[in-house]
């Protein structure tokens, strides 16, 4: 059997892929933050703030336009958050309620990010749930309406330790307050090729649609991605993968501003390796794959690091008992003044490819085969998980099972 590509997936498989890619986007941070923690909690905090404030306003507007619900309302803000890698459904179980265009609330019945951080102590919880969330929530709200404010009713550290919901917030659009200024990190990321990639075209079909063609209906607090039609799921998946690239670009820019270009390249390579390996493992399990060359090729084809095709030219082919990989010239390698995962990969920092292959089966090895070319072949000795993957496995998202 040939390996699977996204074009081979049916409706239910696409819905599964979107959910996996949303969770993979959340794990980007779990792979990136350990790289900068050695510089101190304050440095980690400030990098995370810049990372999310640089990326989330861009992809929030893109999602609203793609699905046809762009408006300066609380509802439009909530709808976009349902497709945000910062809030993957179920792992981050946001429960939304809209009172009117200017008022709403949400709480988290389960916050996977909190569960990850609580064992590290209250300093890290406060850094995430107070210092990072305050400005980044405002930046996300800014994309919908600069006068939108998200304010906590209660939030961690949890007292008592098992308090539920994990946090609760009010959301208000107040026309009497000064608009939140444009996030200072935004202009640099907004000038990127990633930010200006055309929205995916939603292809029409001769058959009756097998789901929603947009999200113009009222907010559905229990929305599930499988409710959308097949061509819409393909477009949503492209945007979700692009969110990951925007986040990684913003992360590396924030590192570069503080620690220099060399540190940013190293951080990006380590971030990519960490998230690449655990995502490969999740994709293998999600699609019931084995350890054949075709299975390895399938994971390399479906991996969000190499999508969307309009941004990343990534070629995967099965050649007998080996898998051949190639990275072509593409917008992800043409960013000006910004480091990207594909730029880092093209410069020879390719540990992520080993992490992906080992995520399918540790006996698969990756070696260079010329410029921007690699061969994945089976060896007798297993490959150890890269250190970045071991660290990322700290997240409960690695083994998280989706359930309503």
Give pLDDT tens digits along the chain (404 positions): 579 999 999 999 999 999 999 999 999 998 999 999 999 999 999 999 999 999 999 999 999 999 999 999 999 999 999 999 999 999 999 999 999 999 999 999 988 888 888 888 988 899 889 988 999 999 999 999 999 999 999 999 988 888 888 999 999 999 999 999 999 999 999 999 999 999 998 877 767 889 999 999 999 999 999 999 999 999 999 999 999 999 999 999 999 999 999 999 999 999 999 999 999 999 999 999 999 999 999 999 999 999 999 999 999 999 999 999 999 999 999 999 999 999 999 999 999 999 999 999 999 999 999 999 999 999 999 998 888 998 888 787 787 787 66
Q: What is the pLDDT of residue 202?
A: 87
**C-beta separation of 181 from 141 below 8 A:** no
Q: How far apart are CA 350 and CA 328, in angstroms?
A: 15
Our CA angle for 312, 313, 317, nearest 5°, is 125
Strands of the sheet with 148-154, listed across from one edge: 92-100, 103-111, 167-173, 148-154
The alpha-helical segments, DSSP class H, found in 38-132 are 41-66, 74-81, 112-117, 122-126
Q: What is the pLDDT of residue 163?
A: 85
The helix or strand, by DSSP H or E, that contains position 246, with its residue range, turns out to be helix 230-259
Coil, strand or helix: which one is 222?
Answer: coil
Q: Which residue has the tokens 């072509």?
A: 328
**C-beta separation of 232 from 268 below 8 A:** no
Q: Which residue has the tokens 């080992």?
A: 358
Coil, strand or helix: which one is 164?
Answer: coil
Q: How far is CA 382 from the centre of its chain?
A: 29
Task: Count H helices and E strands in the chain, helices first.
Answer: 13, 8
Q: What is the pLDDT of residue 112?
A: 87
Q: How far apart are CA 253 and CA 28, in angstroms?
A: 15
- Cβ-in-10-Å burial (0-12, 13-18, 19+) of 106 comes to buried
Q: What is the pLDDT of residue 16?
A: 97
| Global confidence as pTM | 0.95
Cross-strand partners of 98: 104
**DSSP-assigned letter for residue 170:** E
Instruction: Render pLDDT for 57-76 as a digit per residue (tens, 0 to 9).
Output: 999 999 999 999 999 999 99
Instruction: Work out the number of other CB atoms within 10 angstroms of the CB of residue 287.
Output: 17
* 298 CB-side CA count, 13 A: 24
The helix or strand, by DSSP H or E, that contains position 365, with its residue range, turns out to be strand 364-368
Pairing of the two strands 373-378 and 364-368: antiparallel
Q: What DSSP letter does each residue of 34-52 carry, written as one string?
A: HHHGGG-HHHHHHHHHHHH
Q: How far apart are CA 329 and CA 352, in angstroms?
A: 19
The alpha-helical segments, DSSP class H, found in 145-229 are 186-190
Which residues in 145-297 belong to E strands, given as ranges? 148-154, 167-173
Q: How far apart are CA 124 and CA 134, in angstroms?
A: 15
């Amino acid at each position: 059997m040939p390996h699977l590509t996204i074009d081979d997936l049916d409706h239910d498989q696409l819905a599964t892929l979107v959910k996996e890619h949303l969770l993979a986007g959340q794990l980007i941070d779990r792979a990136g933050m350990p790289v900068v923690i050695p510089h101190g909690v304050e440095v980690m905090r400030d990098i995370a703030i810049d990372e999310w404030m640089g990326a989330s306003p861009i992809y929030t507007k893109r999602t609203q336009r793609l699905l046809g619900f762009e408006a300066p309302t609380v509802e439009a803000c909530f709808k976009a958050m349902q497709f945000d890698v910062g809030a993957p459904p179920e792992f981050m179980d946001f429960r939304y309620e809209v009172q009117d265009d200017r008022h709403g609330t949400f709480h988290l019945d389960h916050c996977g990010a909190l569960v990850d951080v609580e064992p590290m102590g209250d300093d890290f919880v406060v850094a995430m749930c107070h210092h990072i969330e305050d400005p980044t929530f405002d930046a996300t709200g800014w994309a919908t309406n600069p006068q939108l404010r998200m304010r906590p009713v209660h939030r961690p550290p949890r007292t008592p330790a098992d308090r539920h919901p994990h946090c609760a917030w009010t959301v208000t659009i107040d026309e009497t307050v000064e608009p939140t200024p444009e996030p200072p990190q935004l202009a640099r990321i907004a000038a990127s090729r990633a930010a200006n990639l055309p929205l995916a075209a939603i292809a029409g079909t001769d058959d009756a649609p097998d789901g929603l063609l947009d999200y113009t209906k009222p907010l559905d607090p229990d929305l599930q991605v499988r409710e959308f039609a097949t061509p819409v799921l393909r477009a949503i998946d492209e945007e979700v993968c692009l969110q990951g690239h925007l986040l990684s670009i913003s992360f590396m820019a924030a590192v570069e501003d503080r620690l220099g270009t060399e540190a940013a390249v190293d951080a990006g390579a380590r971030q990519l390796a960490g998230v690449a390996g655990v995502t490969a493992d999740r994709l293998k399990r999600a699609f019931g794959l084995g350890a054949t060359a075709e299975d390895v090729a399938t994971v390399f084809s479906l991996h969000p690091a190499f999508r969307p095709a309009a941004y990343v030219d990534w070629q995967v082919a099965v050649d007998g008992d080996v898998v051949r990989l190639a990275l072509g010239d593409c917008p992800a390698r043409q960013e000006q003044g910004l480091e990207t995962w594909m730029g880092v990969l093209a410069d020879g920092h390719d540990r992520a490819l080993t992490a992906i292959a080992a995520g399918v089966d540790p006996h698969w090895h990756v070696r260079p085969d010329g410029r921007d070319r690699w061969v994945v072949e089976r060896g007798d000795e297993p490959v150890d998980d890269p250190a970045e993957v071991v660290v990322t496995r700290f997240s409960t998202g690695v083994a998280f099972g989706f359930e309503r």
